[in-house]
A = this chain, B = another copy of it.
Amino acid sequence: MTLPATRRVGIADVAALAGVSLGTASKALNGRGTLREETRARVRAAAEELGFTPSAVARSLLTGRTFTVGIITTDSYGRFSIPMTRGVEDSLGVGEMIAFLCDSRDDPIREQHHLRKLLERQVDGIIVAGRRTDAREPLADNLQVPVVYAFGRSRDPHDCSVVSDERGAAHLAIEHLVKTGRRRIAHITGPQSHESARERAAGAASSLAAFELELVGEPLFGSWTEAWGRFAVAQVLRTAPDVDGVFCGNDVIARGVLDGLREAGVSLPMRAGVVGIDNWGVVAEAARPPLTTVDLGLEEVGHRAGDLLLAAIDGHPTPGVHVVPSHLVVRES
């Protein structure tokens, strides 16, 4: 594998080969100043011959742009930021941009430190990728660069945020359960302090109401763990042994629910259907049976955030909350 020797060829080499001064070479390559066309052509030919590309540093001084953006994640490059970052990268790659990735680890001091480093490097824009859907404080007041919030929206409605459709996801899950014949549906989910848990529960209730149905019992708020899923479904079986569907707040809970049902002798998916949210491959595919779940479109959230950031950098900001639709992934549960 050979590599164009980009770094070793400087404008001085170009000037020497063309037999002109450094200043003339610079003018010729930047298309500035007054030069004879013959001189300009000679310099360009020399640049071509040497494979000279102006450095990104030099280019940014000329254009006032660095063609870099910062991505500040809060979840330590975790399972939410992974697909989002992929989406952002796909979007930015088209525009020859490149991203600094900073991990704030949910620590406001680290976040401000990263912000300072990004601004020092004159990034053209910043994406803030959240781990929770709860609205967050804006990154800072009076920022001079465009910012797009992904997954977790900004509290300031004048900011630009891209989020997943929490209620729509709940609707897809309930609709699937009802359409596959389930009528006695319970809801087991994460902590009530999480907006996503509350929104999904509200979405489930209104979706069931549209089918003239009601949840079996109250939504069971707990934690985003398998152990909670196993424990909670045992309670459900005790109070409502005829339950025939469980909508789970995420895939991890759903996996616990599946294990709990199977180990209680409930045959799956014949006697009960289970649907999760996340479409987290490692969990959903390893579940027994493999889990039907709702994909929140995180990669699309990242992609859209990248697109909106590029537009804002080009002078076309689109403030407000942009919602990316979810979609159902049917497996065997």
Contacts and interface: CB of A to CB of B under 8 A. Distances in A.
Contact of A86 (B77, B85, B119, B142): B77
Total copies of the chain: 2
Interface residues of A, number: 58
A212 interface: no
Given A57-B57, A98-B100, A102-B98, A119 B76 contact: no
A102 B310 CA distance: 18
**Which one of A82, A86, A98, A102 has the greatest number of beta carbons of chain B within 10 Å?**
A98
Given A89-B103, A98-B102, A57 B6 contact: no
A68 interface: yes
Given A57-B61, A57-B66, A120-B6, A82 B86 contact: no
A167 B120 CA distance: 44
A32 interface: no
A288 to B, nearest CB: 8
A7 B89 contact: no
A129 to B, nearest CB: 11
A77 to B, nearest CB: 4
Given A57-B57, A89-B102, A227-B286, 5 more contacts: A3-B141, A5-B142, A7-B145, A57-B122, A76-B86
